[in-house]
Chain A
């Protein structure tokens, strides 16, 4: 099943109300540098295209770019790293988001129950920890609130290591947005918002997203 590029994935989810970053898709290194100037530093640059699903593994993500020159150089490298099979590619420039807390949210078509929505604790131990909860799409606001309460690691959602408590309203908006995206577009077969970083001020940010659609 085809995947959408990160930028298209985010557009699909943002249309349904999932809050995403102020980010730009540009075709050239100069464009990337201009975009970074607008967004403010530091930024992240990624090579982006419908056929590119595993950016990190291919080294197509450049983090913490602190000035215009660094952005220009990174974008030049990224565009040069594109392979013919990647098809049309662009550079995505986004604010550099950091936070110690990572969640994961997504959509999954379950054999028994049809389209489901998931929220879980993310990060590298996510699969070992398996602190996840599901509901059937569509969900209502109270379902989303109850999903937050389902997570075992409630400590992550409170004030944590000097960072503010997670903004529950905004997390609810992420979940309601995902549910709406699945309802609005039945061709969506799965979606991952991973990581969904909780920043130091408690705002959840969809740092990466991947939407899969039926062919």
Chain B
């Protein structure tokens, strides 16, 4: 049974910001600002003690003063002591979901815990989906909603984020901004008094806007229930998990943070493998795994070809592959013969396919198509994008531009790198296989025409081949988990 109240949370027809403020440092101002600035198209209302005007919105002292049935989400910035009455008024006005950013609840000791219990009981009685308290907010790009007390508003995409720590929502959203691989929904669970991380993930699992779940968790109160919940998610969609409290040191930090003890890490790792959860070791690994699930097809096998314009990168990538479940596949003889027709004889004639600078204008797009098409190749990693555009950048900024033919060659290089990035995406789509592009220019010079064109295709440009290998390994492990269990 789908809980339709999640629609009020993520795709509300109208939002009430309770506790708005005209002071630009207060959460009640920042939230209203972020909702309005991100282009939310539903109705926006606000309450404040004094009924002042904030960012052009005429606030009212009470929710009861607002037209009934116009807003189904309340974003609550008021102090805890106000919130029971507020919830009753919201319910009376047609609100079905409330996100509470208010602090002073379970995280604040015995009395706070008692207030939190009261809040949960009341929300249950009123039939309101209670999110938080003590959370950062909710983001939903299909509704252009950025109801949170912090930046940023991410580009739209297919990653659904749920986090026990609001800061990690921000981290993931910042990665979305940086990489261009966007987000469908994001929510900080706060104290998760009523609605927990698995509840949000369960919604994402059936959400057509979301292709993959991405979650941060630390304390887990009932491990067995958590397993059952996440397993039911992974059976529908991939789920990437970052867990705090993995080491003994981390566990002490977690205990002081949420009051819940972290589970033993070895058991937790086994639980993830059993449940088909993709567990990432670091925040960037987590984001990149999710971004890869969101933008690349699952591999049908583990045979990888590395294509590189220069030798060293290929060698290091081969080393990285050797530490994973992926295989640097021997180059099939017919593929080798086909590549022979496209390159001078000095190319590596093996995998990695090292072009040894033998490429001409159309070689890279042709080879990407040829290699990806081959039935004995399951995935391709392409290295060397953007080199010529990097030179172009130096020429463009140097003292001789645009003379000496520089204007023309700069434009040519940039056009070529954009073509190569597009060819990688096209080959991936055409043959339904992962084709990953990696270059440090993705972060060293994001404006380089190569990485910029990868972003424009909606895919991730990996900042190193090792990171591409790690992400692809996660996809292959999950693909095997699905296949062994007869799932899609």
Question: Measuring CB to CB, which residues of chain A are less than 8 angstroms from any residue of chain B?
Answer: 110-114, 116, 130, 132-136, 139, 142-143, 145-147, 150
Contacts and interface: CB of A to CB of B under 8 A. Distances in A.
A139 B273 CA distance: 12
B223 A110 contact: yes
Interface in B454-488: 484-485
A136 B270 contact: yes
Contacts of A135: 270-271, 273-274
For the residues of A in contact with B, the DSSP-based class is mixed
Contacts of A150: 270, 273
A130 B264 CA distance: 14
Main SS class of interface, B: helix
B66 interface: no
B267 A110 contact: yes
Contacts of A133: 266, 269-270, 273
A139 B484 CA distance: 14
B271 A114 contact: no
Contacts of A147: 270
B273 A136 contact: no
Nearest to B227: A136
A116 B270 contact: yes
B316 to A, nearest CB: 22
B86 interface: no
B224 A114 contact: yes
A132 B266 contact: yes
Given A113-B223, A114-B223, A134 B485 contact: no
B388 to A, nearest CB: 42
A97 to B, nearest CB: 28
B371 to A, nearest CB: 28
A188 B271 CA distance: 21
Interface in B42-73: none
Contacts of B484: 142, 145-146
Q: 3 closest A-B pairs (Cβ-Cβ)?
A: A112-B223, A134-B270, A113-B223
A116 B224 contact: no
A113 B266 contact: no
A2 B267 CA distance: 25
B320 interface: no
Nearest to B262: A112
26 contacts: A110-B223, A110-B263, A110-B264, A111-B263, A112-B224, A112-B264, A112-B267, A112-B268, A113-B223, A113-B224, A113-B227, A114-B223, A133-B266, A133-B273, A134-B267, A135-B270, A136-B224, A136-B270, A136-B271, A142-B484, A142-B485, A145-B484, A146-B274, A146-B484, A147-B270, A150-B273
Interface residues of B, number: 17
A185 to B, nearest CB: 19
Nearest to A143: B274
B266 A112 contact: no
Given A113-B263, A116-B267, A134-B267, A139 B223 contact: no
Nearest to B270: A134
Given A112-B263, A113-B267, A139 B274 contact: yes
Nearest to B263: A112
A34 B72 CA distance: 83
Contacts of A142: 484-485
A136 B264 contact: no
A128 B269 CA distance: 19
A186 B223 CA distance: 18
Contacts of B266: 130, 132-134
Contacts of A130: 266
Interface string B245-289: 000000000000000000110111111011000000000000000
Contacts of A132: 266
Interface string B352-383: 00000000000000000000000000000000
A152 to B, nearest CB: 11
Given A133-B269, A146-B273, 12 more contacts: A110-B267, A111-B264, A112-B223, A112-B263, A113-B271, A114-B224, A130-B266, A132-B266, A134-B269, A136-B271, A142-B485, A147-B270
B220 interface: yes
A145 B480 CA distance: 12
A34 B485 CA distance: 49
A114 B271 CA distance: 11
Contacts of B274: 135-136, 139, 143, 146
A61 B264 CA distance: 35
Which one of B227, B263, B264, B274 has the highest number of Cβ atoms from chain A below 10 Å of its Cβ?
Answer: B274
A119 to B, nearest CB: 10
A119 B484 CA distance: 20
Which of B222, B227, B264, B268 has most A Cβ within 10 Å? B264
Contacts of A111: 263-264
Nearest to A132: B266
A136 to B, nearest CB: 6
A71 to B, nearest CB: 42
A143 B231 CA distance: 13
Nearest to A146: B273
Interface string B211-244: 0000000001011100100000000000000000
Contacts of B273: 133, 135, 146, 150
A140 to B, nearest CB: 8
Contacts of B268: 112
Nearest to A116: B267
B313 to A, nearest CB: 28
Contacts of B220: 112
A147 B270 CA distance: 8
Contacts of A136: 224, 227, 270-271, 274
A114 B223 CA distance: 8
Contacts of A112: 220, 222-224, 263-264, 267-268
A116 B224 CA distance: 11
A162 B375 CA distance: 38
A186 to B, nearest CB: 14
A145 B273 CA distance: 12
Contacts of A146: 273-274, 484
A116 B268 CA distance: 11
Nearest to B266: A134
Contacts of B264: 110-112
B302 to A, nearest CB: 13
Contacts of B485: 142
Contacts of B267: 110, 112-113, 116, 134
